[in-house]
Chains A and B, each alone.
Chain A
Amino acid sequence: MPSANRSSRTGSTTHPGRLLLIMALITAAVAAWALWPGQDNAVRLGLDLRGGTQVILQPKAVQEGAAITDDQLAQTVQIIRQRVDGVGVAEAEVTVQGSGDGAAIVVSVPDVSQERLVELVGRTALLDFRPVWSIEGPAPQVDDTTAAASVTTDDAATSARIVQAADNTPEYQAEVAALDCLDPINQAGGSPDDPKLWLGTCDADGVAKYSLQPAFIQGTNVTDAVAQLPQQGVGGWVVSLTFDSDGARALAEASQELYALPDCVPGGASPCNAFAIVLDGVVVSAPRFNEPIIGGQAQIEGDFTAQEAQDLANVLSYGALPVNLEVVEVTSVSPTIGGDQLRAGLIAGAIGFVLIVVFLLVYYRVLGIVAVASLTLAGGLTYLGFIALGKSIGFTLTLAGVAGAIVSIGLTADSFIIYFERIRDALREGKTMRSAAEVGWVATRRTILAADFVTLLAAVVLYIVSVGNVKGFAFTLGLITLIDLLIAFLFTYPVTVLLCRASWMQRGSWLSGLRATRKGDGGEVEEASEGRTSVGVES
C-alpha cells in the first residue's frame, strides 16, 4: 500500500514536542488578546441573544434601473450612523451587507423603541440650499440665565435641535439666539428641516450658528458634484456643481440677488451674501457668491484639502440620497427571551458535549481522553476567539452562530475519529503502535485537509453572498473549521504520537482502546492480515 512508503519518510521527522509548543504559543496569544485586562472581556452577544431592536433597510435607486454604488452606500451608512448617534444611543451598529442592488443596511441598537428607530433610519436624508439671513457665534445668547437653563433642559432631549418658523418673527429670532451650537448633539444633524420654512440651526463643526431663509434649491436639483483642482492651478481644491434646469434658474436668480449684498460675518448685516448647504438640518458649508451664476454650473472654492472637497462633493451628490431606503425587516427581541435562547443554546451545547465525551471515552478509552482534550481545547479556543474577534472586528455572536458552534462539535470530532480509525487500519496491517500513529496520520492529514477545505469553501461563499443571520453562521462555521485544523495538526496528532510511544500502550492494554487489533490475537487475525498483505502487494 502507498502508506507503507510514506511511513519511512515521515516517521523519523516528527517532533511532537515542537508541535505542542506551537499550539501552546498560539493558545497563549489568543488568550492574551482576548483576556487582556482593562477591556471588555466577554463575548459580544448579538441582538437575538441580549435583546434589542434591529432594522434591515434595503436601498433602492431613485431612478428606475440605476445601479447603487459603494459610495452611495457608504454615505447612507454615514448619515444613518449620525442620526442614531445623534439620539445618544450607546452601542448602535450600522453595517452594510452585500453591495450594489442586493445590499442591505442593518441597524442594531440595544434598547430604543422600535417606532423611534424605524423613524430615525428609514427617512431619506434631506439636502437643500438656503440663502443665509445672519450668522452668529455658536454660544446661546440670552439675556436671562434662567431662560438659558430652561432651554438646556429642554435640549437634554435626544436629537439635534433646530428652529423652524414660517416667518422671521421675534419669537423665531429669540429661539435661534438661545440655540446652543456648542452642544455636540446639535452639530450632529439628524433633524431634517422643512425647506419651505425659515431655519435656525448650527453648522456641523460647531463654529457658528445660522439663521436661514427658505430653501431656493433642493438637493434633487443637483445633477453632479465633483471635487477637483482648478484648471488654472491656483488655490486649493474646489467642488464643481452642475444643476438641472430648475436648479440653474433658481441659482441664477438667487446669485444675482445675493451677490449684491454685503459679506456674511458673525453679527454683521442681514441678509448677507452667502448660501448654506444644509444636510439633515445641519449646515455643512456656507459659501458666498463671487459673481452671479447663470449657466447652472457653479464652483465652490475654499481652503479645501482634497479630503474636505471630496466629502463635500459626496454630500452634494448623495446628500439627498439617490437611494430610497425601504424598511424590509424589523425585529425586536425582549432581553428575557434573548437570555432564554442563549441559556437553551448553552444547555444544549453542554448536554451534547457530555454525551460525546461519554461516547468517546467508552469507544476509544485512552485515545478518548485525547479526543475529549482536543474537543475541550477547541471549545476554549472558540470562546477566546469570539472574544478576540469581538474586540478587533466587532464580531457578535448570534443564535445562528451558537447553532453553528454546536454543530461544529461533530465536525471537530470527525477529525480525530478519522485519525483513530486510520491508526487501527495501520495496526491491522501489522504495523507497530508507534509507526501506526505516523502512518495513520499521513492518510488522515490528506482527508482532513480535503474535507475541511470543502467546509471552509461553503463558509466563505455563504459569508460573502448572504445577509443577516446566515452571515453570522457562516463566520462561526469558518472560524471553527480553522480551529479544527489547528487542533488536529498541532494537538491531537502530537499527543497521540507521544501516547503511542508509551510502552504500556504498545503492550496492548485494554485501556488503549485498540485491544481488538492487537497483534498475535489468534490464528484468524494472523491469517487474515497475511491475506491482506498479499492483496496489497499486488495492487
Chain B
Amino acid sequence: MSRRSSLGDRLYRGESGIDFVGRRRTWFIVSGVLILISLAALGFRGLNLGIEFQGGAVFSVPNATCSVPDARDTAAAATGADVIVTETGAGIVRVQTPPVEPAQSQDISRVLAEACGVPVTDITTQVVGPTWGAEITAKGIQALAVFLVLVTIFLAVYFEWRFAVAALIALAHDILLTVGIYAVTGLQVTPATLIGFLTILGYSLYDTVVVFDKVKEETKGITAQSVMSYPEAANRAVNQVLVRSINTSITSLLPVVAIIVVGAGLLGAGTLLDLAVALAVGMLAGVYSSIFIATPMAVVLKMRQPDIKALDNRVAARRGGSGRRAAESQEAAAAAVGVADGPAVETSAGRQQPKRQPRSKRGKK
C-alpha cells in the first residue's frame, strides 16, 4: 500500500462505508423506539406551552434587586393569583401570571418596578389573550398543510412519488423526535419554538433533497446493467454524499450552538435561545433521517417496482452463479424485500469490483 487515501476517497469508491441501506432494519427499529418514547412522553407529560399558547402575562425585570420570593409575593398580591417567578441568566427576574387586563398589567409592572428598584420603563412585559395561542397554532398547522402539499407535488415531479413519500416519512420522523425531546425535557414551547419547528421542515427536506439527488444520479439507467443492485447503488450514493452531510451539519450547527451558548450565558430565556434549541435538535434529526431513514425508505419503496425487482434478481443470480453463497443469495433475491441484506452486508468491501477479484475478496470475509 503506497499511501493511505483519504476517508472521502474510500467512501467515494465504496471501499469503506456504512451499510446504511442494508442495515435499514436496525435504523428503523432505533427510530421507531425513539418515536414511541416521544409519543409516550407527549401523551403522558404533554408539552410545556408558553403563555402565548394559553394566555397570560410575563414581566421581565432586568438588574432586579429583589429576591425571587419578594417578586413572587409582590406579583401575587397584585394579581390575586398564583404566579411563577424564575431568575434567568443575567440577573433577570421573570414573573409569569395568568391572563390579565392590559390596564392591570401596567399596575403589576409598577409594583414590580417599585419592589425591585428599577425604572418601570426597564420592565419588559408581554400580555397575551387566552385565545391568541389557538390562533397561532391554527396558523401554524395551516402553513404546514399548505407547505406539505406543495412540497409533495414538487418532490413527486422532480424525483418520483416514492421519493416524495420517503421524504415525508423522514420529515414526520424529525418533527416527532423534536417534539418528543420537548416533551421529555419539559423545555418551554413558545412561538419561537414553533418557528424553529417550521424551519426544521425546510431544513429536513433540504437535506433529504440533497441526498436524494445523489441517489437519483447514481441509480440513473441502473436497470440497463446487472452488476449492481438498486440498494447497493443507493447505498453508495449515500456514502458518497456523507462527507458533505457531515460538513454541512458542522457549519449549520456551529452558529446555532453559538446562539445557545451566548443566549444561555447572557440572556437567559428568550426568543433566540428557544429558537436555537429547537433548531439544534431538528438539524441533528434532519441529517440523521436523510441518511438513515429517507434513503432506506425510498429503497424499500423502489424495490417493489417491477423493473427494479428484476434487476435485483438478475444481480443476485449472477452472483449466485459464481459465488459460494448461491443458495442464500437466491433465496434472498426471491424474497425481494430482503434482497440487499445478504450481499450488501457481507461484501461491502468487494462489491464494486466483482469481475476483478470476486472470490478472493469475498473469501476474506
Q: Do A and B bind each other?
A: yes
Check if B29 is an interface residue, CB within 8 A of chain A.
no
> Given A333-B124, A336-B62, A538-B225, A468 and B270 touching (CB < 8 A)?
no
- Residues in B neighbouring A443, C-beta threshold 8 A: 217
Check if A263 is an interface residue, CB within 8 A of chain B.
no
- What does the 1/0 interface line of B251-285 toward A look like (CB < 8 Å)? 11111111101110011001110011001000100
A474 to chain B, nearest CB (A): 8
Check if B69 is an interface residue, CB within 8 A of chain A.
no
Check if B185 is an interface residue, CB within 8 A of chain A.
no
Query: Which of the candidate stretches A8-16, A27-35, A235-243, A408-416 sits at the interface with the other chain?
Result: A408-416
Please report the total number of B residues contacting A with Cβ < 8 Å.
Answer: 101
Check if B2 is an interface residue, CB within 8 A of chain A.
yes
B192 contacts A114, CB within 8 Å?
Answer: no
- Residues in B neighbouring A331, C-beta threshold 8 A: 124-127
Query: Which of the candidate stretches B150-158, B295-303, B328-336 sits at the interface with the other chain?
Result: B150-158
Query: Which of the candidate stretches A194-202, A300-308, A396-404 sits at the interface with the other chain?
Result: A396-404
A464 to chain B, nearest CB (A): 8
Task: Select one of A352, A418, A531 contacting B258, CB under 8 A.
Answer: A352
B135 to chain A, nearest CB (A): 7
B132 contacts A355, CB within 8 Å?
Answer: no
Once the chains are docked, how many angstroms separate the CA of A470 from the CA of B194?
Answer: 8
Task: Select one of A329, A333, A407 contacting B255, CB under 8 A.
Answer: A407
Once the chains are docked, how many angstroms separate the CA of A417 from the CA of B8?
Answer: 13
Task: Select one of A337, A446, A457, A461 contacting B62, CB under 8 A.
Answer: A337
Task: Select one of A446, A454, A528 contacting B202, CB under 8 A.
Answer: A454
Query: Which of the candidate stretches B20-28, B35-43, B172-180, B348-356 sits at the interface with the other chain?
Result: B348-356
> Given A348-B255, A425-B240, A454-B154, A524 and B272 touching (CB < 8 A)?
no
Check if A224 is an interface residue, CB within 8 A of chain B.
no
A337 contacts B124, CB within 8 Å?
Answer: yes
Check if A66 is an interface residue, CB within 8 A of chain B.
no
- Residues in A neighbouring B12, C-beta threshold 8 A: 424-425, 428, 532
Q: In the complex, which residues 32-64 of chain A have their Cβ closer than 8 Å to any Cβ of chain B? A: 48, 56, 58
B276 contacts A403, CB within 8 Å?
Answer: yes
- What does the 1/0 interface line of B194-234 toward A look like (CB < 8 Å)? 11001101110111011001100100111011011000010
- Residues in A neighbouring B140, C-beta threshold 8 A: 466, 470
A413 contacts B102, CB within 8 Å?
Answer: no
A330 contacts B191, CB within 8 Å?
Answer: no
A114 contacts B263, CB within 8 Å?
Answer: no
- Residues in B neighbouring A104, C-beta threshold 8 A: 135
Once the chains are docked, how many angstroms separate the CA of A145 from the CA of B171?
Answer: 76
Check if A421 is an interface residue, CB within 8 A of chain B.
yes
- Residues in B neighbouring A351, C-beta threshold 8 A: 255, 258, 261-262
A348 contacts B262, CB within 8 Å?
Answer: yes
- Residues in A neighbouring B352, C-beta threshold 8 A: 531-532, 535
Could you say which interface size class chain A belongs to?
Answer: 35 or more
> Given A330-B102, A330-B126, A409 and B251 touching (CB < 8 A)?
yes
Check if A347 is an interface residue, CB within 8 A of chain B.
yes
B5 contacts A516, CB within 8 Å?
Answer: yes
Check if A264 is an interface residue, CB within 8 A of chain B.
no
Check if B105 is an interface residue, CB within 8 A of chain A.
yes
B7 to chain A, nearest CB (A): 9
Once the chains are docked, how many angstroms separate the CA of A406 from the CA of B261?
Answer: 14
Once the chains are docked, how many angstroms separate the CA of A528 from the CA of B14?
Answer: 10
Task: Select one of A334, A404, A450 contacting B124, CB under 8 A.
Answer: A334
- The winner among A341, A348, A417, A528 for most chain B CB atoms within 10 A is A348
Query: Which of the candidate stretches A18-26, A130-138, A226-234, A356-364 sits at the interface with the other chain?
Result: A356-364
Task: Select one of A48, A404, A461 contacting B146, CB under 8 A.
Answer: A461
In the complex, the 5 A-B pairs of residues with the closest C-beta atoms, listed nearest first: A410-B252, A352-B255, A522-B2, A516-B6, A458-B202
Chain B residues with a Cβ under 8 A of chain A:
1-3, 5-6, 8-9, 12-13, 15, 52, 60, 62, 90, 92, 102-103, 105-106, 109, 121-129, 131-132, 135-136, 138-140, 142-143, 146-147, 150-151, 154, 158, 191-192, 194-195, 198-199, 201-203, 205-207, 209-210, 213-214, 217, 220-222, 224-225, 227-228, 233, 240-241, 243-244, 247-248, 250-259, 261-263, 266-267, 270-272, 275-276, 279, 283, 352-353, 355-356
Chain A residues with a Cβ under 8 A of chain B:
1-3, 48, 56, 58, 98, 102, 104, 113-115, 118, 122, 326-337, 340-341, 343-345, 347-349, 351-353, 355-356, 359-360, 363, 399-400, 402-404, 406-407, 409-411, 413-414, 417-418, 421, 424-425, 428, 443, 446-447, 450-455, 457-459, 461-462, 465-470, 473, 477, 516-517, 521-525, 528-529, 531-532, 534-535, 538-539
A-B contacts, 26 listed (Cβ < 8 Å): A58-B132, A58-B135, A104-B135, A113-B106, A114-B102, A115-B102, A328-B132, A334-B62, A340-B266, A340-B267, A344-B272, A347-B266, A403-B195, A404-B199, A407-B279, A411-B203, A411-B206, A424-B8, A450-B209, A461-B146, A466-B143, A469-B271, A516-B6, A525-B9, A531-B353, A538-B224
